[in-house]
Structure formats: C-alpha cells, structure tokens
Amino acid sequence: MSDIKIIMKKEDYRTILDHCKKGLPNEACGLLAGTVDGNVKTVTKVYLLTNTDNSNEHFSMDPKEQFAALKDARSNGYGLIGNFHSHPESPSRPSEEDKRLAFDPTFEYLILSLQDIDNPVLKAFKVDKEKNVTIHEIEYI
Amino acid sequence: MLFTIAGEKKEYEEGITLDNLIMKEEIDNPEYVTVTINDEFIDKEAFGTTVINEGDAVEFLYFMGGGAN
C-alpha cells in the first residue's frame, strides 16, 4: 500500500456498483473524473461507459464515450484521474491483460470484484511502466 | 505555430503531420492511441497525411481495456 489515497463519495461507489451489477454477466467499465492534490486524489464524477466487448472476461471502452467524458470533465474544471471495470468471476486484482493495457502510470485503475455478489470488493491500483502494481487506499466519504 | 494538445498550448513548426507530432511528443505505445483534432476522430491510416493547423485542438486518448485472466 502506498501513501496515495483516493477519496470517493459513497454515492459514487454505489453508482459504480449498480452499473457493474447491471452489466452482469459481462464486465462493466467507466471513467473517473477528479482532482489531484499532492497524494490525495478526489473523485468528483463517475462516467458509466459501454463495454464494447460484451464479454465476461474482457472489456474495451468506446473511444467516443471516452472523449465525451474527457470533454465533460474538462469543462467542469476536472481531469480524468482513473477508470474502473468489474471482474464478475475473479478477484479484485489486475490480470496480465489489465497490466499490459494499462498505459498511464499516473492513472488509477479500479477493479470491482463481484465474485462474491454479496460482498463486492473494490480496490485501486497503480500500474507503472515496468508493470509493477501498487495498491492505493480508497477512503469513502 | 500554436495549437493545443490536451488543452495545453504547444508550439511546433508549420506543416507538422500527426505522425511526426506523436513522435515528437514521445507518445508511448502509439498503436493504442486514438486521436481527435477539433473533436473529429482521425483514422490511423491518415496519421501520416494529416497536417496540424494553427489553433487546432489535439487530443490523444489511450485505448482502455483489459481482461479478467
């Protein structure tokens, strides 16, 4: 665990959880807008995107939806600080494919495991250029 | 010549093409990058022939995806 902390409203967590449950049996995905102040990253808005793969083992974001989220975030004075996707049947940890396709070492990569549907697990990860993974704390407010 | 990349003003020589810009900006893994200029998506096949103009707004978007395995 590093000293970077992510601040997320409980309602944003519920938005992510609902989106990922509605997406079952497939993976679901989205983007996070927010601010960065030193080691604290605050989520200000959650964007729910389409998994164009329609798969329970893969996801791809729609570039047009990505771009729309980027524009909306920027117009509100925020940046995109991370993304999220669900693992319907596996733990909350980056797969080899997740790591390979994590191109931005400043981004937060959140994974919501729905392996135990009654006990979802959301974790945040940083993936550096060498594909080393660090877990970041999420504080809910 | 001034234009913006990801909302930040940048200065490059006149006539610079998109593929040269990607190289000069040292964009990693360019094969996974989608580009918009003034909100229009640019086909990858056109990167070598697309010229950036004064005042353009360029955005680089990394492909975002993954898998559970």
B22-68 pLDDT per residue, tens: 999 999 889 999 999 999 999 999 999 999 999 999 999 999 999 87
Partner-chain residue, chosen from A74, A87, A129, that has the shortest CB–CB distance to B68: A87
Work out the angle at residue A116's Cα, subtended by the Cα atoms of residues A115 and A121, and round it to the nearest 5 degrees: 80
Separation CA A56–CA A90 (nearest Å): 10
Separation CA A32–CA A42 (nearest Å): 9
Mutation test of the interface with chain A: which of B22, B27, B32, B64, choosing the one with the most A Cβ atoms within 10 A?
B64
Separation CA A125–CA A132 (nearest Å): 10
Separation CA B42–CA B18 (nearest Å): 9
- Please tell me the total count of domains within chain B: 1
Residues in chain A: 141
Signed CA dihedral, A11, A17, A23, A26: sign only: positive
Q: B48: domain range?
A: 2-62
Reading the block at residue A85, the tokens are: 């996707």
In this structure, is residue B68 part of a structural domain? no
- For chain B, the straight-line distance linking the first and the last C-alpha, in angstroms and rounded, comes to 46
- ipTM of this model? 0.85
Partner-chain residue, chosen from B34, B62, B65, that has the shortest CB–CB distance to A59: B65
A105-141 pLDDT per residue, tens: 999 999 999 999 999 999 999 999 999 999 999 999 9
For chain A, domains (ranges, CATH) are: 5-140 (3.40.140.10)
Report the pLDDT value the prediction gives residue B69, as an integer from 0 to 100: 72
CATH of the domain at B46: 3.10.20.30
Residue A14, CB-side half-sphere exposure with 13 Å CA sphere: 4
Q: For chain A, list residues with pLDDT below 50.
A: none
Q: Considering only residues 39 to 58 of chain A, which have any Cβ-Cβ distance to chain B shorter than 8 Å? A: 53, 56-58
